[in-house]
Amino acid sequence: MNNRMITKVIVIVAIVFAVLIVGSSAFYTIGEQEQAVVTTFGTPSCVSEPGLHFKIPFVQKVKMVDTTIKGFSIGYDLNTGAAIPEEALMITSDFNFVNVDFYVEYKVSNPIKALYASESPVVILKNITQSCIRSTISRYNVDNVITSGKGEIQAAIREKIIVSLEQQDIGLQLISLTIQDAEPPTEAVLEAFKAVETAKQQKETEINNANKYRNESLPAAEADADQIAKQADAERQARINEAQGQVARFNAMYEEYIKNPLITKQRMFFETMEDVLPDMKVIINGSDGEVQTMLPVEPFTGE
């Protein structure tokens, strides 16, 4: 084999090798939970359909972006569970300190912006989250943070983060934010808050017992009040009837008095004496200073 033939073989092998290299770099595959950002002379475009795709070698470049839901922790190390005090320690509206741990879930919503809008979008999201957490916690007292206000606090923080992400436009979407733990920084304070929670439960129990007693006692009290009202109405009617009878008797007596004043006066006098004399005491003071009481008076006025 002469030099010319050797040269041809080398050229053919080089061409085949170059074709294989170019062909292998002209295709790429997108998974179910991925999207691709294809740049053509530096201009990016997004490809989201799963499967095998073609790109122009040396002209187009491809970067794969994972679109699965991911997460990070605030206040503790996600791998070891160790506390991170500088992230967890916060101050409340009533100037108390509290340790609060959070877990945040997010995913890529715009692959192009996630790659090119900022250098570290996840770091930006974490900074935004910490800022929103501290500004929200500072508006609640420590009791709400540790016990009854967790749901409301989570919703308020989530709303703030969503608004900030829309303003920053870094291509990430917040999925969820959860308070993992909230406790006072010292054991003594923790015991105090347990006592507060116990007192709250006792208060609810007392309120329920009071409502039960009210519901049981109110019907009986209403029945008693109704009975008293009926008795008062009956007594009122009796008094009215008695007064009307007395008025009728007085009117009848007055008519008789107009006809015969002297006779009527005498009759009224004798009737009054009949009522008074049986209960009278007669006391006779003698000339010798002795006092005698004589009852009844009938023997002096009768036989």
Q: What is the C-alpha separation between 226 and 244, in angstroms, rounded?
A: 27
Q: What is the C-alpha separation between 217 and 178, in angstroms, rounded?
A: 46
**Structurally, how many domains does the chain consist of?**
4
Last-in-domain residue among 185, 202, 230: 185
Identity of the amino acid at 210? A
Identify the domain containing residue 86 by its residue range: 70-185
CATH number at residue 129: 3.30.479.30
Q: Are residues 149 and 99 in the same domain?
A: yes
Q: What is the C-alpha separation between 4 and 102, in angstroms, rounded?
A: 73
Q: Are residues 50 and 92 in the same domain?
A: no
Q: Are residues 282 and 297 in the same domain?
A: yes
pLDDT for 303: 46
Q: Are residues 207 and 181 in the same domain?
A: no
Give the angle subtended at the CA of 102 by the CAs of 194 and 169, to the nearest 5°. Answer: 150
pLDDT for 18: 53
Q: Are residues 82 and 175 in the same domain?
A: yes
Q: Are residues 173 and 238 in the same domain?
A: no
Give alpha helix (H) positions in the chain: 3-25, 85-88, 111-116, 121-137, 142-143, 150-168, 187-259, 261-276, 298-301
Q: Are residues 112 and 170 in the same domain?
A: yes
Last-in-domain residue among 155, 185, 215: 185
Q: Are residues 98 and 163 in the same domain?
A: yes
* Nearest one of 45, 38, 28 to 59, comparing CA atoms: 38
Q: Are residues 75 and 180 in the same domain?
A: yes
Q: Are residues 222 and 141 in the same domain?
A: no
Q: Are residues 32 and 80 in the same domain?
A: no
- The Cβ of residue 165 has, within 10 Å, a number of other Cβ atoms equal to 21
Cβ atoms of 98 and 182 closer than 8 Å? yes
Q: Are residues 199 and 283 in the same domain?
A: no
pTM above 0.85, yes or no: no
Last-in-domain residue among 31, 65, 99: 65
> In tens digits, what is the pLDDT along the chain, a chain of 303 residues?
566 666 666 666 666 555 555 555 577 788 888 888 888 887 888 877 888 877 777 778 888 889 999 999 999 998 898 989 889 988 889 888 889 999 999 999 999 999 998 889 999 999 999 999 999 999 999 888 988 889 999 999 999 999 999 999 999 999 999 999 888 776 666 676 667 778 878 888 889 888 888 888 888 888 888 889 889 888 889 888 888 888 888 888 778 778 778 877 777 777 777 777 666 666 656 556 555 555 555 554 444
